[in-house]
Amino acid sequence: MSNPDPISVFRTEAAECLEQIELGLLDLTRDLTDRAQVDAVFRGLHTLKGSGAMFGFDALAAFTHHCETAFDRVRKGDVPATQELVSAVLSAQDHMRALLDTPNGDHEGVSAALLENLHRAVNGAGGEPVAQAAAGVLVADVPVADGVKQWQIRFSLPANAMANGTNPLALLDELRDLGECRIAADLSQVPGFDVLDPADIHVAWNVTLKTAQGRSAIEDVFIFVMDDMALDIKDVTAAVAAPAVKVVAPPITVAVSKPASAEAQPAAAPAADAAKGKQASNENVRVPAERLDEMMDRVGELVIAQSRLTQLAGGADDFGLRSVSEEIERLSGELRDTMMVLRMMPVASLFSRFRRLVHDLSRETGKEIELITEGETTEVDKTVIDRLADPLVHLVRNSIDHGLERPEDRIAAGKPAKGQVILSAHQTGGEVIITIRDDGRGINRDRVRAKAEASGIIQPGQTLTDQDLLQLIFQPGFSTAQQVTNLSGRGVGMDVVKKTVEALRGTIDITSRPGEGSVVALRIPLTLAIIDGLLVRVGKGSYVIPLSAVEECLEISIEEDLRSRGRSFISLRDSLVPFLRLRELFRTGTQPDQHQKVVVISTGTERVGLVVDQIIGDHQTVIKSMSKLHHDVDTFSGATILGDGGVALILDVAHLVAAGQQQEAQLRAAG
Amino acid sequence: MMQTQAMQTKAAANTMDHQSIWAGAEELSVLTFNLNGETFAIEATVVQEILDLLPETHVPGSKPFVSSVINFRGKVIPLADIRLAFGMEVNEATIDSRIIVIEHELEGEATLIGIRTDRVYEVTTLTRTASEPPPSVGMRWRADYIDCLVKRGGEFVILPNLNAIFASQGDRPAVANG
């Protein structure tokens, strides 16, 4: 457990590395001159190459090497960053993922094609092949007689550098590779033996280097340690030639602890930023999700045990016990809240992948698309993020494929040529609402109706509310696309989107205006593990109704109940609400309570009343899922453990509402 | 003709199961228990715990085979009655009634399941040489619900095939034909 498989650690890190590269590349597509991003991408590629080779992913390392080389040339200003290059590297980056997943697969053909692509992007129509360019950079230590300069380099590393994996000897070797080197160690900072920590570095180095390479080549040697070290590079060629005290190039001093000098600021600022980022990421701990889940289970059990303690203490006269019990109640409540926060992740991690998707779709469809994301800091349970990824991809694809028009059509309709897709997230109460909005042509209701009639989902001419009509697109086997494009038919269908959202106890609303676009709103509960519930009694059993679905509670007398028998409707402020007698539904075989209650629940627009014997009160519920043996029972979405150790089942609101609507439809048909 | 084939296939499948539970070993450590007068046995390694009867929660709308759930150490687990799978009469709970909690893989997911028993006997060792596959005729029970029968001290110990029972969710036999 404490020694995780190094290969899997590498995979995780490489995946992150690729993500960083992708983000950098996407930022570059906006601003091709962004030096910081070019550097970030280069650094990412370099790390990937290095660690890939170290862990035996040779194909990955070799392939990445070419991309790195290409970016190195961009970084040095040899070639400009172009959209073609960025796109080529983006697709190459996908291939790296494949190489990472199946290192032993047959990737030769794809690799060659992608490299060819890359090569064209770097060199324009006819330049030198990438491979040669690579060789040019890598085997650059062939000294050229003229243009050789002499450099005076002084560097010192932070004391803990070796613990972080830096090998000073390797740095010196790299310097030697650049040209003729004279290296002298500066031992002046080495402390006495009594205080010497042998794992720390106390030595600084003075190096005199003769090389034809420029300053940047020397800086590159230190690229991965530059953030934390002190480095001083001076061009002393002139000083050697004519011993005048004249420094040709201003010294570049990069040190995080000291403010950078005025001349060095452009170089120092990004480095400092990078250092800041590094610090922030160092404070994170990577924990496998299962461990969090285990801990969540324990906390859940603690909450249950605590509520039993509270009950016991409440019944006893012992004040000492009571105060301890209250203390524990507060602590376990706080622990639970903390635990919930641990599982929360900003939706930014969900949204970020759409930039890439939109970039690709824009190229594939020839539509100009702008993706706007809002509310990226909104936090959602990690499980929600994981499970929503595929449905959201589908919805965004749909918006782009079916919603947005071609640029010429948009201009003809008086809209800007560039279509907009807005992804936004915000939190209201216990729910997170994620919306996908486009400014395209909107949903063509006639086509939806025609299609639904053709496929037998609705009767010809059946009257439907607008919302019902729009919801038809979530029916299995429904598609209005007149032609099957590359986009549609991939991944999940809209019915799967709806199922996934419902499995997360969420709902989908659609609004659409012809010519103005559509809005799909996913309402997802904030957390999956704990809900506020209303505890009710039906017969002898206790059941929990999710409080978020409860609209109101009414009393219904036996007389009213008898009178309404046969129609099962109550009138609630001038509208009829169908109701279900849970006693009958659950076949309890008990007599109705004298004071039955109706709990009115709703999912968005539809309502249904549930007749229960007694309302016990609200109850914080740790949701336990039911085993696969009970998957055929769809009246319940889960179970929870009560304060006395008993089990209460949690009612599945969506299912009950559907059952109520069905009953209503039957009654209407009969009456 | 078809039927014979089907029966042969079934017999072959049973033999395979029969072999797999022993996994090449000559001896198997099991927990024996009583269901309606018959002695059954479950591999001891899957048994998590033996519980006294505790409050059950009925799940309306579920199959009688798994009609309730219980709270097992803070987890909600189903309580299965394999007597129903074997078409046995369900006796009233007695002071000897126990629940055996086992860990069983359902569709690739390790699941804790409680099994009602009339009485739990002991952990003992069964030998493979004394075992035989269920006879294909002359039995009241569905043959595929039984892994093998093991002779032990003048009586047969029944090793139920839990995979088959839970996979079909304890559907009652369509009145066994022999």
| Long-range contacts from A48-53, C-beta under 8 angstroms, 24+ separation | A48/A14, A48/A17, A48/A18, A48/A21, A48/A96, A51/A10, A51/A13, A51/A14, A51/A17, A52/A10, A52/A14, A52/A100
pLDDT above 70 for A262 = no
Strand order in the sheet with A636-641: A614-622, A530-538, A541-546, A647-651, A636-641
Name the average pLDDT for chain A.
76
Strand order in the sheet with A180-186: A180-186, A204-211, A149-156, A230-235, A252-253
Q: What is the pTM of this model?
A: 0.51
> What region does A420 belong to: left with phi over 0, alpha with psi -120 to 50, or beta?
beta
CB A503 within 8 A of CB A474: no
ipTM > 0.90?
no
* Mean pLDDT comparison of A234-238, A432-436, A446-450, A577-581, highest-scoring range: A432-436
**Region A362-383 average pLDDT:** 84
DSSP character string of B25-71: -SEEEEEEEEETTEEEEEEGGGEEEEEE----EE-TTS-GGG-EEEE
Q: Residue A303: which of A524, A529, A543 has the closest Cα?
A: A529
* Greater pLDDT, B41 or A529: B41
CB B100 within 8 A of CB B82: no
| Helices of type H across chain B | 2-22, 82-85, 162-167
Note which residues in 565-624 of chain A have CB less than 8 A from chain B.
585-588, 624
> Across the interface, do B71 and A633 touch by the CB < 8 Å criterion?
no
Burial of A574 (0-12, 13-18, 19+ CB in 10 A): exposed
> What is the pLDDT, as a whole number, of residue B115?
94
Chain B interface includes A79 (CB < 8 A): no
Best of A582, A621, A626, A647 to mutate (most B CBs within 10 Å, chain B): A647
**Region B2-13 average pLDDT:** 44
Q: How sure is the predictor about A528, in pLDDT bands with cuts at 50, 70 and 90? A: low
Task: Give CA–CA dist A115/A100, Å, rounded.
Answer: 17
- Identify which of A627, A641, A648 has the shortest CB distance to residue B74: A641
Q: How sure is the predictor about A239, in pLDDT bands with cuts at 50, 70 and 90? A: low
Task: Give CA–CA dist A654/A634, Å, rounded.
Answer: 10
Q: What is the per-residue pLDDT across A66-107, written as a single tens digit (0 to 9) for each?
A: 888 887 888 777 777 787 888 888 888 888 888 888 777 777
> Across the interface, do A629 and B71 touch by the CB < 8 Å criterion?
no
Chain B interface includes A539 (CB < 8 A): no
pLDDT above 70 for A489 = no
**Region A402-408 average pLDDT:** 84
